[in-house]
């Protein structure tokens, strides 16, 4: 098989990933009629656009129910492994992540699914491992989240997953969470020893898990000034295991020709049309079902002071924990350069409506990032 390079491990100094387009609302909590409706043909269009533009990866979110409120954001979502196989078959260059909740899918199932996507894409697959935070959505599966053991289980799951993809003779596994017999998979992945692994977490437990299992930790930065301390903490954890991992943040982008236009549009959908009830639900669920290794006020979701913009206010209609970048193409490029200088190796990108707003970002911001030396020319 001819392998193609996977941009997830490619040369761009500051990586970009199309995020959350498989869920309605994306990273907005808004009732604005322009909100992302999550129609398959539109997801495909925006994925092809990202592929063409040289965006490094697509990262879908694994969700099983919405956040309620008026918009029920994420109430509609496409499953990420099947999403990855379909989009992988239609694209040429972009890295394709799938996201799985450890307690809901066996390692052998995911190893086979990721190997499938890796063959479909000739070596462009990646896996994002999450351990769960919303008990309401786990109730759909009849599975209980153990807030203080979820990352311990995650590590055992990862060890089985990675050993499967490495190949070798069938093995038995006698662990705390899994007892398995004659474990094997065929085919193994195209990428060796396995496709890149990302994990998404924020707590110390999440950082320690990433330090052992992931190549990249996706975490909640929400304000570039906080990035150096977060990056240092993650890298210190990795150092304990003699490993190096990259840290990515998430960004929600409002880019317009003038600052005033960008501010007005952001205010319209994220303040005037904000879905505050779904934000309340999100905050309550995070408090209820996440680990005890982090004080509740240390979480970006529960401490509004963590969410700050370089200039201007943060409104309630975008997800807490994401950097909100609002302004002209120069402003957005400059803020991304600051994220890079703060130690972040990449960011996810999301928009109120991907299909309406991403073309301007691609046309105006990507060339600026190239000129700043953060990205290679496409
Ligand atoms: C960029 C990003 C992507 C995430 N994707 C998912 C997801 O697809 N499904 C999910 O249930 N949680 C997702 N999460 C939530 C995290 O897995 C995690 O629960 C959250 O960041 C809180 O951190 P903690 O679990 O370490 O306390 C994501 C978080 C981030 C920052």
pLDDT digits (tens, 9 = 90+) for 209-247: 999 999 999 999 988 999 999 999 999 999 999 999 999
pLDDT in tens, 116-161: 999 999 999 999 999 999 999 999 999 999 999 999 999 999 999 9
Task: Report pLDDT for 356.
Answer: 98
Please check whether residue 199 is in contact with residue 130, taking contact to mean a CB–CB distance below 8 angstroms: yes
Task: Report pLDDT for 292.
Answer: 75
CA dist 127 and 118 (Å) reads 10
Q: Quick one: which of 26, 36, 93, 12 has its CA closest to 60?
A: 26
Q: What is the mean pLDDT of the chain?
A: 95
Q: How far is the CA of 201 from the centre of ligand 1 (A)?
A: 5
Longest CA–CA separation in the chain, Å = 62
Task: Report pLDDT for 208.
Answer: 96
pLDDT, average across residues 54-79: 98
CA dist 120 and 311 (Å) reads 44
Nearest CA to ligand 1 atom 9: 62
Whether residue 298 is predicted with pLDDT greater than 80 in this model: the reply is no
CA atoms within 13 A on the CB side of 118: 22
Alpha helix ranges (H) inside the chain: 40-53, 80-90, 107-120, 135-139, 150-166, 204-213, 227-240, 259-267, 276-289, 329-341, 354-360, 366-371
Task: Report pLDDT for 296.
Answer: 63
Please check whether residue 252 is in contact with residue 322, taking contact to mean a CB–CB distance below 8 angstroms: yes
Question: Is residue 332 classed as helix, strand or coil in its secondary structure?
Answer: helix
Please check whether residue 293 is in contact with residue 148, taking contact to mean a CB–CB distance below 8 angstroms: yes
**Domains, the chain, ranges and CATH?**
7-371 (3.20.20.30)
Q: Which residues contact 47 (CB under 8 A, 6 or more apart)?
A: 18, 21, 58, 87, 90, 91, 94
Q: Quick one: which of 103, 176, 179 has its CA closest to 146?
A: 103
Task: Report pLDDT for 1.
Answer: 81
User: What atom in ligand 1 is closest to the CA of residue 248?
Assistant: 1
Terminal alpha carbon distance of the chain: 24
CA dist 360 and 358 (Å) reads 5
User: Model pTM?
Assistant: 0.97
**Where residue 199 falls among pLDDT bands split at 50, 70, 90?**
very high
What are 159's two structure tokens?
Answer: 């060890």
pLDDT, average across residues 94-116: 98
Nearest CA to ligand 1 atom 31: 219
pLDDT, average across residues 311-316: 93
**Where residue 293 falls among pLDDT bands split at 50, 70, 90?**
confident
- Cα 83 to Cα 23, 41, 59, 98, 126: the distances in Å are 11, 12, 10, 8, 13
Task: Report pLDDT for 291.
Answer: 74
Whether residue 367 is predicted with pLDDT greater than 80 in this model: the reply is yes
pLDDT, average across residues 196-214: 96
Please check whether residue 213 is in contact with residue 199, taking contact to mean a CB–CB distance below 8 angstroms: yes
Nearest CA to ligand 1 atom 18: 201
CA dist 350 and 27 (Å) reads 6
b/e for 315-335, b at 16 or more Cβ within 10 A? Answer: bbbbbbbbbbbbbbbebbbbb
- What percent of the chain stands above pLDDT 90? 91
Task: Report pLDDT for 75.
Answer: 98
**Where residue 305 falls among pLDDT bands split at 50, 70, 90?**
confident
Q: Quick one: which of 232, 164, 234, 245 has its CA closest to 203?
A: 234
Q: Where does ligand 1 bind, in terms of residues with CB under 6 Å?
A: 61-62, 99, 101, 130, 132-133, 200-203, 205-206, 218-220, 250, 290-291, 321, 348
Task: Report pLDDT for 286.
Answer: 84
Task: Report pLDDT for 289.
Answer: 75
Task: Report pLDDT for 297.
Answer: 67
User: What atom in ligand 1 is closest to the CA of residue 294?
Assistant: 27
Whether residue 98 is predicted with pLDDT greater than 80 in this model: the reply is yes
Whether residue 301 is predicted with pLDDT greater than 80 in this model: the reply is no
Whether residue 254 is predicted with pLDDT greater than 70 in this model: the reply is yes
Q: Quick one: which of 325, 318, 339, 335 has its CA closest to 269?
A: 318
């Amino acid at each position: 098989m001819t392998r193609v390079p996977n941009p997830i491990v490619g040369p761009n100094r500051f990586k970009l990933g199309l995020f959350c387009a498989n869920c309605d609302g994306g990273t907005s909590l808004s009732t604005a009629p322009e909100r992302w409706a999550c129609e398959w043909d539109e997801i495909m269009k925006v994925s092809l656009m990202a592929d063409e533009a040289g965006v490094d990866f697509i990262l879908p979110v694994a969700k099983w129910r919405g956040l309620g409120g008026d918009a029920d954001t994420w109430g509609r979502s496409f499953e990420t492994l099947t999403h990855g196989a379909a989009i992988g078959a239609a694209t040429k260059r972009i890295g394709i992540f799938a996201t799985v909740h450890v307690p809901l899918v066996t390692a052998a199932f995911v190893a086979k699914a990721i190997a499938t996507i890796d063959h479909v894409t000739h070596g462009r697959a990646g896996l994002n491992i999450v351990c769960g935070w919303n008990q309401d959505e786990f109730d759909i599966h009849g599975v209980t989240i153990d807030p203080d053991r979820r990352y311990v289980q995650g590590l055992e799951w990862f060890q089985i997953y990675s050993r499967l993809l490495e190949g070798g003779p069938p093995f038995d596994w006698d662990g705390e969470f899994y007892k398995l017999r004659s474990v094997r998979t065929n085919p193994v992945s195209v990428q060796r020893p396995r496709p890149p692994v990302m994990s998404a977490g924020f707590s110390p437990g999440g950082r320690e898990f990433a330090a052992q299992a992931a190549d990249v930790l996706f975490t909640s930065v929400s304000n570039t000034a906080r990035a150096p301390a977060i990056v240092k903490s993650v890298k210190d954890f990795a150092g304990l295991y003699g490993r190096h991992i990259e840290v990515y943040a998430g960004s929600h982008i409002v880019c317009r020709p003038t600052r005033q236009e960008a501010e007005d549009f952001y205010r319209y959908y994220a303040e005037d049309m904000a879905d505050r009830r779904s934000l309340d639900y999100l905050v309550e669920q995070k408090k209820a079902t996440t680990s005890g290794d982090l004080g509740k006020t240390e979480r970006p979701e529960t401490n509004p002071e963590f969410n700050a913009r370089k200039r201007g206010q943060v409104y309630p209609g975008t997800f807490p924990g994401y950097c909100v970048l609002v302004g002209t193409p120069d402003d957005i490029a400059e803020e991304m350069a600051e994220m890079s200088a703060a130690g972040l190796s990449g960011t996810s990108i999301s928009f109120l409506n991907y299909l309406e707003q991403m073309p301007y970002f691609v046309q105006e911001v990507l060339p600026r990032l190239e000129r700043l030396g953060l990205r290679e020319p496409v």
